[in-house]
Structure 1
Amino acid sequence: MPAVHFNVAWPDGISNRYYSPSTVIFQYLNEGQAYSIEEFSEKVIAALENASIRVEKKYGYACSAAADEASKIKQKIHQLKTMNVQGNVTFKNYS
């Protein structure tokens, strides 16, 4: 199962690189697309959960790395909301 890294620009000006254990994320997020924080959260968490399910089907156990990435993203979103940061999340690219 090919792993994928992806780059995100947050509305606070910070960019981060994240990991997905599966290319299923391609079905959820488009390169160069800007998403509201809420829409990005829904899409990326669903994509990472689906990726983990695919790993579980293939190997018999869920992908803890996908759960870790989802946790990092949820923490970042919580931070943005706490700081009342407005704007869009830009899904920069896959790498």
Structure 2
Amino acid sequence: MPEMRFHIRWPDGSREACYSPSLVIKDHFAVGQDYPVDEFVSLSRLALGIASDRVRTQFGFPCGRAEAQLARIEATARRQDAGTVHVEAFEE
């Protein structure tokens, strides 16, 4: 299963390289696009959930790294003021 990283910039200017066990992220985000924080979290939940389910289908258990990444995204989002998350790059 091809894993990838998607690089983002939070409204506070901090950057993060986020992990996904699947390329499904590309179906939900576009490089160069800005997403309101709440929308970014919602799309991350959806995409990382699908990615984790793909791991479960193939290996019989969900992807702990995808779940941990989602938890980090949710925690960071709670610390942000209003603004947008910018998707900077995909890395396969």
Structure 2 counterpart of 1:60, which letter?
G
Structure 1 unpaired stretches of 5+? none
Aligned residue number for residue 92 of structure 1: 88
Q: TM-score, normalised by structure 1?
A: 0.93
Using the TM superposition, give the Cα deviation of residue 86 of structure 1 relative to its aligned residue in structure 2, in angstroms. Answer: 2.1
Task: Give me the whole-angstrom Cα distance separating, in 2, the residues matched to 1:58 and 1:90.
Answer: 31
Q: CA deviation at 1:53?
A: 0.2
Offset of residue 17 of structure 1: 0.5
Residues of 2 paired with 1:5 and 1:25: CA distance?
A: 9
Q: Secondary structure at the match of 1:67?
A: helix
Identity of aligned residues (%): 33
Tell me the residue number matched to 1:19. 19
| Amino acid across the alignment from 1:70 | L
1:1-95 matches, cutoff 5 A: 1-80=1-80, 85-95=81-91
Tell me the CA shift for residue 94 of structure 1.
Answer: 0.5
Moved over 3 A (4+): none
Q: What is the RMSD of the two structures over their aligned residues, measured on CA atoms?
A: 0.7
Shift of 1:87: 1.4
**Structure 2: 5+ residue stretches without partners:** none
- Which deviations, in whole Å up to 9, do the C-alpha atoms of 1:53-77 show, x marking residues without a partner? 0000011110000000000000001
Q: Distance in 1 between matches of 2:77 and 2:83?
A: 12
